[in-house]
């Protein structure tokens, strides 16, 4: 079931979070949390191949919302 979500000013209407939505979540949190700022910087420095692997991994987790994604990131699951 698709759900409308607004993250960092962008609208998403899919059942699961896309990679872009995950990045928007990190960008939003990076404004107030240093860990997310460093994570965003590290992601931006990845080569294309590694970035594609990260995209496939995160999208395969089928996060339903930002909370699911944040718990994944913070718990290192």
pLDDT class of 2 with cuts at 50, 70, 90: low
Q: Which domain holds residue 68?
A: 3-75
More confident residue, 13 or 36: 36
pTM given for the model: 0.82
Gyration radius of the chain's alpha carbons: 12
List, for residues 28-37, the tens digit of each pLDDT value.
999 888 999 9
List, for residues 38-56, the tens digit of each pLDDT value.
999 999 999 999 999 999 9
Torsion of Cα atoms, 50 then 37 then 26 then 43, to 10°: -10
pLDDT class of 6 with cuts at 50, 70, 90: confident
Structural domains counted in the chain: 1
């Amino acid at each position: 079931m698709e759900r409308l979500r607004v993250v960092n000013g962008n609208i998403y209407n899919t059942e699961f979070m896309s990679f872009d939505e995950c990045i928007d979540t990190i960008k939003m949190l990076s404004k107030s949390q240093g860990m997310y700022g460093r994570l965003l910087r590290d992601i931006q420095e990845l080569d294309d191949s590694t970035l594609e692997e990260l995209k496939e991994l995160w999208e395969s987790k089928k996060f339903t919302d930002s909370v699911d994604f944040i718990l994944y990131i913070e718990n290192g699951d």
